[in-house]
Amino acid sequence: MTDSMAGYNITIVLQKLPQGVKIMPAYCLYFIYTAIMAVVLFALVPRDAVKRLFVYAVTFGGVADALVIFFIKQIIKAGEYINYGPFGLLGIPFFPPIAWTIWFLMFFYFLPDDLIWMVIYVLTAAAASVMFSNVLANLNIFTWHYSKIFIPFLIYLSWFAASTWAFKRLNKQHP
């Protein structure tokens, strides 16, 4: 990437479109990425696994996303969803909790049993989520107010580690 492209975001690109070319509103992106994730989910995860993992995914994905957003927006003021148009309530858009539920369905389905692989998996998932959140920031539907890497990585790592621990603890087989 050249220096002239560094920091380029989608808003600048869209502003340079010819006059009269209409692009969808930014809030449509929430639906698009949620729909893409749903297609990937149904392509990769069997239905019986979706049914078995659904309650965990809603709890650690959808509900936790609302709590995490409240925490990072209201408590530490580190970031927030933006440009969600009519698809939100009380500062939380409707589609991200659905997307996080889908993501956690896949996360728990592919979660390895071996501890070392589980640690690598959680670290990798946190790093991938930081990258994806920065893609969303470049699309102007999420913003980080401070760090775009360190604080998000700590937030995602904490969230995923706690979710993994709770999921494993709740699914522990008793003799």
pLDDT 10s digits, 13-65: 555 556 655 577 777 788 888 899 999 999 999 999 999 999 999 999 999 98
107-158 pLDDT per residue, tens: 999 999 999 999 999 999 999 999 998 888 888 888 888 888 898 999 999 9
Residue with tokens 């050249």, as numbered in its chain: 2
pTM of structure: 0.81
CA distance 174 to 120: 26
- Report CA-CA distances (Å) from 6 to 2, 12, 66, 138: 7, 12, 32, 12
How many CB atoms lie under 10 A from the CB of residue 153? 17
